[in-house]
Structure 1
């Protein structure tokens, strides 16, 4: 059995038709503008966001540096900060030497299962304060790509929603126009043709 051919036609808004209203032309331009903005604007927003995120991560890698430290307390008994991490990290007291030679202590995240006196690597910012390890170049690129994709999808979704709102308003106007036209034509249907 053959499938019935659908009545849907591509580009119907752009074809000449005596029944085409001004609102149909406006809607066609809205659809074209929305999809153009989604494709071009979404790409641009995604690329700019990814680039900005990548620059931010590169800035973190430039500002932070690793320093050898010694654990002041053991980490075997400490409670992990996150469940299910590949290498569970715990907050522990560490001691290190500042660039000016003075001893410093503080609490930071280190790998678990270390004894007091073990050597660990900690991360400091440019002001000498304890901080988290910056993301590697690969992790930063992946996160930047995720941020860019998310920004592009969000921009596209907002643009699409705006276009649908404009189309809904056009539909409301068409319904009102049809109601007015029906009010004029409806009473004539009750007359008998002679």
Structure 2
């Protein structure tokens, strides 16, 4: 019985009630629309963003390829231990394309390498240097994080918009009460004898 009473208390704005104002019904609709946008819009934004990111990462994996290259210059030794982060420096390398042409270029390689050592470089479909594409697990993780961020962004905007609309309704109600009190208040000042 207590649960039914609480439900009735929450839904009072929707029932016909002589104490219900027009603003109460407007507020009920604002809250309903806000939660619908949060749930449906947030889910849709998250799924669309996840799918777009996953498609982009898959396209990167399909168009990028690695090749063995030879380092043409020595690179300086690593200066400090950076806690698992690779120290990279730009250096000249030479590699052979799929059609047998030898090419040279400058790309990022690990520090502390000697000239003549083999390095792996990543090229795009136009044989320009590019970064290594995300692995399938990394792509899934990044796509998921981006999808969650989009969901939270839509939910936050909907919640903020709903909060601003409810605040304006509250201000309007308070102003209305002030106006009504100016009409009624003076009659309460009379003394009863």
Pairwise TM-score range, normalised by the shorter structure: 0.7 to 0.9
- 2:157, 2:76 → 1: CA distance? 49
Deviations 1:16-40 (A, max 9, x none): 5432211011101111110111011
The corresponding residue for 1:26 is 26
Q: For the Cα contact (< 8 Å) 1:78–1:90, is it kept in 2?
A: no
List per-residue Cα deviations over 1:1-59 (Å, max 9, x = no partner).
Answer: xxxxxxxx533433554322110111011111101110111011001001101101111
More displaced, 97-106 or 174-183?
Answer: 97-106
Deviation at 1:73, TM superposition (A): 1.5
How many residues matched?
185
Aligned to 1:60: 60
1:79–1:106 Cα change, 3 Å: farther
CA distance in 1, matches of 2:192, 2:144: 70
Distance in 2 (CA, whole Å) between partners of 1:90 and 1:152 is 38
Match of 2:49 in 1: 49
Match of 2:71 in 1: 71
- The alpha-carbon deviation at position 79 of structure 1 amounts to 6.5
- Residue 3 of structure 2 corresponds to none
Partner of 1:3: none
**CA distance in structure 2 between the aligned counterparts of 1:61 and 1:143, rounded to whole angstroms:** 14
* Distance (whole Å) between structure 2 residues aligned to residue 89 and residue 193 of structure 1: 90
The answer (yes or no) to whether the contact 2:92–2:107 under 8 Å persists in 1 is yes
Would you say the 8 A contact 1:79–1:90 is kept in 2? Answer: no
In the superposition, the TM-score normalised over structure 1's length comes to 0.87
- The separation in 1 between residues aligned to 2:140 and 2:79, in whole angstroms, is 31
In the alignment, the residues of structure 2 paired with residue 74 and residue 167 of structure 1 have an alpha-carbon distance, to the nearest angstrom, of 66
**Root-mean-square deviation over aligned CA pairs:** 2.1
Unaligned runs of 5+ residues in structure 2 are: 1-8
Q: Which runs of 5+ in 1 are unaligned?
A: 1-8
Deviation per CA, 1:66-101: give whole Å up to 9, x if none.
111001122343669x94444433322211112332
- CA distance in 2 between counterparts of 1:42 and 1:16 reads 32
